[in-house]
Structures are given as structure tokens and as C-alpha cells.
Amino acid sequence: MLSKKIVKYIQSLSHKKFRDEQGVFIAEGPKVVSEFLSTERIKCNIICAEKEWLLEYKFLLKNINPANIFETDEHWLKSISLLKTPNKVVAVFNKIPANENQHLSGKISLMLDDLQDPGNMGTIIRIADWFAIEHIICSKHSVDCYNPKVVQSTMGSLLRVNLIYTDLKLFMKKNKQIPFYASSLSGISVFKLPKITEGIFLIGNESKGLSEEILKSASQTITIPKAGHAESLNAAVATGIILSQVVFHS
């Protein structure tokens, strides 16, 4: 049975401040939790799960201290879950060590300028994983990649994509030898770009787009041409269209 102390601790991790202090994050659901448990890159500190889940996935629990494995039921899972409907298991993991010495030459990477929506962030991480994008550079004010909603929507892709939070202006100055492609409502059509094997593609804030300073620092402005009347595209959808064209350009 879960103690009030454990419940309170897990509930506190819904806040970035406490996740940062503890260096941990929450994952929920059989698919996401089992994916994290299948790697030796990160340590699992706490497992709270229904009996049937513990029996089905016991082969993944052999390296976890039994004192940190709690059999529970749907009622208790509701008290610690951040989902509308708890899904069998909630776990606490150590954060994935960020690779600060990223090598961006000869690769396609992403840069996010103050992205705010957790669903967009999680989907972009998953899209990056689909297209084998290794690095995402985020502004310091972008949504936390360990926000529980982000973790949930990545479906495990967080393990395979390196995210770095930094000052974008300084980053662009330090890496000026790499082309930066700024997505915007105007510019050269992404479908008319030549084959690109190296570059960083910039995606802006959901409502404001890219900041003027970032736009001015970019090597080229690109756009996804439209045939209809929508005012703009969702940031994650735009990312998927751009990467699909760039990665598979013949």
C-alpha cells in the first residue's frame, strides 16, 4: 500500500521545480513505462502498479529494489496519476543525462523557440525520433521536456532524442557555420529546397512564431505553401511536413 509520504512525493513531481530539485520525472502507462524500464540508461526509483501489470512485466523489475515497488489499485493510482484515467502503472525515473557536447555538423537538427504546449513538444520529440533526428535545441523558456504530458505524448521517444535548453541567440552565434532554416508564413517553399544534409530547422512559438531576432539570424526563411484559408499550421504538424520533405528529398 502507498504511504501518504510516497503519494505526496509523486504528486509534487507534477511541478517543474520539484522535478529539477530531485532530478527525476514521472512516466505513466504500460507502453511508456516498459520502454523506459527496457534501457539501462536511466534508473527507476519507484514503481506503483496494479497486480496484473506487476506480474506481466516482472522480467523488467529485477534491477529495482523490491522496497520501491508498490502494488496498488485504481483508487490509489488516481491519487498520483495526472491522466484523466489512470493506466495500470505510474513510475518515477531519474532524468536522462543530456549530451551537452552535441555534434551537429553533417546532420539535420531542430530548434524550438519558446514552444509552450506540452502536447506539441511531445509530438515533436516523437516526430524527431521517427525521422532519426538526434538533437533538439530548445530556448530556455520552452516547455519542460519532463512535463508529464510531454513524457506521455513522446511514447518513449524521449530516450532517443537529445534535448538541450540554452540561449538560442548565443547558440546560433557559436554555430554560425551551420545553416539555420527559419519556418515562417513567408519564404522559399520547403518543397523547392535543394537536398539538405546539414542544417538546423527553427520552429517558433505557437501564437507568436519565431522572434524577430532569431528570424534575422537565420540563414534562410522557409515556408509550407497553403492551398486553403487556415491562418497557420500547428507547430508539430509543420515540423512533420518539413522533416518529411527534407529527410526524404531525393
Residue 185's SS3 state is strand
CA Rg, the chain, in Å? 20
Closest CA to 54 of 26, 30, 74: 30
Residues sharing a CB contact under 8 Å with residue 75, sequence separation 6 or more, in sequence order:
none
147 plus 36 within the same structural domain: no
Final residue belonging to a domain, choices 94, 120, 140: 94
Q: How many structural domains is the chain composed of?
A: 2
85 plus 139 within the same structural domain: no
120 plus 227 within the same structural domain: yes
149 plus 195 within the same structural domain: yes
Give the global pTM. 0.92
Residue 12's SS3 state is helix
239 plus 119 within the same structural domain: yes
Answer yes or no: are the C-beta atoms of 36 and 155 closer than 8 Å: no
Which strand ranges, in their side-by-side order, compose the sheet holding 199-203?
162-166, 135-139, 108-112, 199-203, 180-189, 220-223
Give the CATH number for residue 151.
3.40.1280.10
- The answer to the question of residue 9 being in a domain is yes
Question: Distance (Å, rounded) from C-alpha 66 to C-alpha 185?
Answer: 54
141 plus 232 within the same structural domain: yes
Final residue belonging to a domain, choices 34, 62, 94: 94
pLDDT tens for the chain, 250 residues long, are: 688 899 999 999 999 999 999 999 999 999 999 999 999 889 999 999 999 999 999 999 998 999 999 999 888 888 898 887 778 999 999 998 877 667 889 999 999 999 999 999 999 999 999 999 999 999 999 999 999 999 999 999 999 999 999 999 999 999 999 999 999 999 999 999 999 999 999 999 988 899 999 999 999 999 999 999 888 889 999 999 999 999 998 5
116 plus 225 within the same structural domain: yes
Answer yes or no: are the C-beta atoms of 63 and 126 closer than 8 Å: no
Can you give the residue range of the structural domain that contains 188? 108-247
73 plus 29 within the same structural domain: yes
